[in-house]
Structure 1
Amino acid sequence: MMTSFKDPESLQTAEILARFNQVFLTHDPAALEDLVADDCVIENTQPASDGARHEGKAECIELRTKIATMPGAYFETEGIIARGDRGEIRWRLIWGPEHRDSVRSVNLMHVRNGRIVEALGYVKGG
């Protein structure tokens, strides 16, 4: 499920993305404090069409905490890829019993000095 190049930077990025992904799989945002950079920027998937922009560590942690702890929802990881300081996490968000109660998405990530500095979210639309 995880693919990365074997250079040290890609391996570090893969490790950071795997730890970040665990926040959503376990619904435990505690690790975000160590994973998110002070100057982090997130472009969320909503509202369409460009998504909301969140800047700074506190705002990014607040958003990710809300997503990770959404009642009745969970994530399934489809893949994590790391290339140098860039990576992607492909996932499905599920909030109900039917297939239509889910959405596939990808986060394009940028890591610097062991912390996430950028996360751009994209969702498949219909």
Structure 2
Amino acid sequence: MTHGSFTDPESRATEALLQRFNQVFLSHDPAPLQDLVADDCVIENTQPAPDGSRHVGKAACLDLWTKIATMPDAYFEPESIIARGDRGEIRWRLIWGPDVTDSVRGVNLMRVRDGLIVEAQGYVKGN
């Protein structure tokens, strides 16, 4: 996985937070999310098209990310994490089968505040 973060302290802290967040999905263990998500977090999910579902508040965000992290027979391949100040980008591929057509590439655009995730917008490549 590549990194392209800036070297200022805020960018380094954002990258470290996004690394911990990403590990949840690689390990299929959602427990650390409790300490990574702000009470006022908002997610705009990748689906349904055209705008994705909106999840507001810590409980709603934890519920969605827990379901994604624990999906049976699916896993993420991380591609890169880039942090710029309080903003970050996580590129990934979600795989659910043996063929390349059983996968999708995507990106999460993230914003953090006081060491917690406050915003996430998910996008995937479509047909």
Report TM bin, short chain: over 0.9
1:27 and 2:28 matched: yes
Deviations 1:38-86 (A, max 9, x none): 0000000010110000000000000000000000000000100000000
Partner residue in 1 for 2:50: 49
1:86 and 2:92 matched: no
1:84 partner letter: G
SS of equivalent residue, structure 2 residue 17: helix
TM-score by length of 2: 0.98
Shift of 1:89: 0.1
**In structure 1, how many angstroms separate the alpha carbons of the residues matched to 2:106 and 2:13?**
23
2:6 partner letter: F
1:113 partner letter: D
1:9 partner letter: E
**In structure 2, how many angstroms separate the alpha carbons of the residues matched to 1:3 and 1:116?**
19
**In structure 2, how many angstroms separate the alpha carbons of the residues matched to 1:49 and 1:98?**
26
Q: Where does structure 1 differ by over 2 angstroms across 4 or more consecutive aligned residues? A: none
Partner residue in 2 for 1:115: 116
**In structure 1, how many angstroms separate the alpha carbons of the residues matched to 2:26 and 2:3?**
15
1:3 partner letter: G
Q: Which runs of 5+ in 2 are unaligned?
A: none
Identical amino acids, percent of aligned pairs? 75
1:100 partner letter: T
Paired residues in the alignment total 126
Deviations 1:64-113 (A, max 9, x none): 00000000000000100000000100000000000000000000000000
Partner residue in 1 for 2:63: 62
**Could you say what the CA RMSD is over the residues aligned between the two structures, in angstroms?**
0.4
SS of equivalent residue, structure 1 residue 108: strand
1:111 partner letter: V
**In structure 1, how many angstroms separate the alpha carbons of the residues matched to 2:94 and 2:122?**
12
Shift of 1:3: 1.9
